[in-house]
Structure 1
Amino acid sequence: MSRVVVTGRIPEAAIEKLRAEHEVDVWEGPESISREELLRRVAGADGIVSLLTERVDAELLDAAGPQLKVVANVAVGYDNIDVPACTERGVIATNTPGVLTDATADIALSLILMATRRLGEGERLIRSGEAWKWGMFFLLGSSLQGKTLGVVGMGGIGQATARRAKAFGMEIVYQSRSEIDPAIAGELGARRVELDELLAISDVVSLHCPYGPATHHLIGAEQLAAMKDSAFLVNTARGPIVDEAALAAALRDGRIAGAGLDVYEKEPQVHPGLLGLDNVVLLPHLGSATVETRTAMAMLAADNALAVLSGERPATPIR
């Protein structure tokens, strides 16, 4: 039997699947595992099932040892994994694309609706106990029908978000490294544009691109200034794609109308400039947070680990 280290709590079905074939060491503490404890536990491991909260780098790979065969990340994003370092050591890294597409797209559309219709403000008002009265100009928001959604990163989640937005009557433009399937583009009525044009014409900009050096602070002060002052920014991808300080300033000064965030630059910290603003909706990274999705993610990660440990090709290797 091989030894598999799971760096945090995951659905029990995935643990049972791993334990049916291998020795499994699971960190079950209420807090994230400390770096020191993580380095200690991975020593001698043949496989690691990692959460996005753990950094898998050369230090950790060397602490595991040369027998390590696989790192199975329970996330679609893998900015926490040094993939070249894995490749250099002959370790196969995997992720969990596909299974969280719909759940994350649902959250993206939820943030679009919450931000444009000022639902967070309304909910906070009710809970505050303050007196309120219906009126023609009370908490007026913006409709989506006939407006333009700009999707930055038109992969599976971007397409799913665009499909939902189209059902609300929105027009779709997108920026991506390559053209999407013509049949999907036709279904969505989606037009590919450069980022500058997307920012200038979109009423809502929704971020779905992967995070890396090329997308660090992709949306900063210059890009926010290029948006309409009536536009909204939504981020369900990775926090550092947006310069939070620049976003806080743009929201405070009315350079854009609002924003909806599910991810943050220094998670779980949120830029203090955002916390006091009414025109931003803040969620605690709930993109994949359904029982069904988190179970599917964990099961796919377990399947990936088991495949590699059996000498087979995993379903979703990171290329």
Structure 2
Amino acid sequence: MSKVFLSAKLPTATTQILADHHFEVQTYTGNGLISHAELLRQVSDIDYLITPLSTQVDAEVIDAAPHLKLIANFGAGFNNIDAAYARTKRIQVTNTPAVSTNSVAEVMIGLMLALSHRIVEGDQQMRTTGFPGWAPLYFLGHEIAGKTLGIVGFGNIGREVARKARALAVNVQYWQPHRLSDPEERSLGVTYASFADLVANSDFISINAPQTKENHHQFDAAIFQQMKATAYLINVGRGPIVDEAALLTALQQKEIGGAALDVYEHEPKVTVGLEKLTNVILTPHIGNATVEARAAMGTIVANNVVLVEQGQAAKFIVNG
């Protein structure tokens, strides 16, 4: 009987698929994230590893699992896995793309609305000092209709953000290394901008890009100085794209209007000082934290284990 190790608790439907196909399933049930040392102990005799993106699967872990056939990452990203090294060991690495697209896009739009209308700030005030009563100039925010959203990274999630934003009468421009065709841009109602122009002209900037070597600290002190003083930065992509120390300084010096982060440079840690600012929203990486998205992700990873066990090709291989 082949063994599967889950380095975190997964939806019941996921484990049920594995049980229905007669796998021996072991799950890490400890408090917090699994440690590197514990992961090394658990993988010595397994055939399949299903792991969330919070688990680092490096060469040492891969070497400790001589029978490993597949690393199925529970997430669209896979920078937590040394996929290139796994390939040298003939171990397939898969991810779960697309199924979290709508959820992440909804969170992005929610954060944009929350920042603009000061919703979180207002909630905190009601829970502490309260408010003195309705007044014409009290606690003013801004409408998002007519504003310009700049999207950095225009894959599935970026495009879905654009669709939802356009439905709210927001003007959308985007930047990524490769421009879309004219028909694609027209169908989405978006315009292409250089990175410099997007930074300078956007009222909101949404980071929806995957993490690469090239975009580490793409948003640094120099970029924040080029943004509008009223602009908001929203990161639902990957934490290291933003230099959080520089972001903190930019916010403290009022170089930009505010920020919302769902991912972090040193996740799960947050740069000290950001939590004290009223114009910052911090959420615990909940972009795809919906019952619907997580169930779909679980189905993909479980089915990939089944496919490989049956001698078939897994879906969504990232190191093929």
Match of 1:172 in 2: 172
SS of the equivalent of 2:162 reads helix
In 2, the alpha carbon distance for the partners of 1:307 and 1:37 equals 27
In 2, the alpha carbon distance for the partners of 1:134 and 1:79 equals 49
> Which one is further off, 68-77 or 129-138?
129-138
What does 1:282-293 align with in structure 2 at a 5 Å threshold?
Answer: 282-293=282-293
In 1, the alpha carbon distance for the partners of 2:137 and 2:83 equals 53
In 2, the alpha carbon distance for the partners of 1:169 and 1:142 equals 14
Q: What amino acid is the match of 1:108?
A: M
Q: Residues 199-257 of structure 1, C-alpha deviation per residue, up to 9 Å, x if partnerless?
A: 01111000000012111111111111111111110001111111111111111111000
What does 1:26-105 align with in structure 2 at a 5 Å threshold?
Answer: 26-65=27-66, 67-105=67-105
Instruction: Give 1:180 deviation, angstroms.
Output: 3.1
In 2, the alpha carbon distance for the partners of 1:169 and 1:14 equals 39
Match of 2:256 in 1: 256
In 2, the alpha carbon distance for the partners of 1:135 and 1:58 equals 61
Q: Residues 234-292 of structure 1, C-alpha deviation per residue, up to 9 Å, x if partnerless?
A: 00111111111111111111100011111111122111120110111111111111111
Contact 1:154/1:180 (CA < 8 Å) preserved in 2? no
In 1, the alpha carbon distance for the partners of 2:97 and 2:225 equals 33
Instruction: Give 1:181 deviation, angstroms.
Output: 5.4
What does 1:102-251 align with in structure 2 at a 5 Å threshold?
Answer: 102-180=102-180, 182-251=182-251
Q: What amino acid is the match of 1:115?
A: L
Instruction: Give the direction of change, closer, same or farther, for the CA distance of 1:47–1:270 in structure 2 (3 Å limit).
Output: same
Contact 1:230/1:257 (CA < 8 Å) preserved in 2? yes
Q: Residues 68-125 of structure 1, C-alpha deviation per residue, up to 9 Å, x if partnerless?
A: 1110000001110111111111111000011100000000001111111111110100
Instruction: Give 1:183 deviation, angstroms.
Output: 4.1
Segments of 5+ residues of structure 2 without an aligned counterpart are: none
Contact 1:251/1:258 (CA < 8 Å) preserved in 2? yes
Instruction: Give 1:50 deviation, angstroms.
Output: 0.7
In 1, the alpha carbon distance for the partners of 2:247 and 2:309 equals 45
In 2, the alpha carbon distance for the partners of 1:137 and 1:68 equals 63
Contact 1:114/1:260 (CA < 8 Å) preserved in 2? no
Q: What amino acid is the match of 1:119?
A: I
In 2, the alpha carbon distance for the partners of 1:98 and 1:183 equals 22
Match of 2:276 in 1: 276
Contact 1:70/1:93 (CA < 8 Å) preserved in 2? yes
Instruction: Give 1:182 deviation, angstroms.
Output: 4.4
TM-score by length of 1: 0.96
> Which one is further off, 53-62 or 176-185?
176-185
In 1, the alpha carbon distance for the partners of 2:296 and 2:221 equals 38
Q: Percent identity?
A: 39
Segments of 5+ residues of structure 1 without an aligned counterpart are: none
Contact 1:70/1:309 (CA < 8 Å) preserved in 2? no
Match of 1:265 in 2: 265
The count of residues paired between Structure 1 and Structure 2 equals 318
Contact 1:234/1:260 (CA < 8 Å) preserved in 2? yes
Instruction: Give 1:19 deviation, angstroms.
Output: 2.1
Contact 1:116/1:258 (CA < 8 Å) preserved in 2? no
Q: What amino acid is the match of 1:243?
A: D
Runs of at least 4 residues of structure 1 off by over 6 A? Answer: none
In 1, the alpha carbon distance for the partners of 2:238 and 2:141 equals 27
In 1, the alpha carbon distance for the partners of 2:135 and 2:114 equals 20
Match of 1:11 in 2: 11
Instruction: Give 1:37 deviation, angstroms.
Output: 1.2
In 1, the alpha carbon distance for the partners of 2:71 and 2:88 equals 13
Instruction: Give the direction of change, closer, same or farther, for the CA distance of 1:41–1:181 in structure 2 (3 Å limit).
Output: farther
RMSD of the TM alignment (CA)?
Answer: 1.3
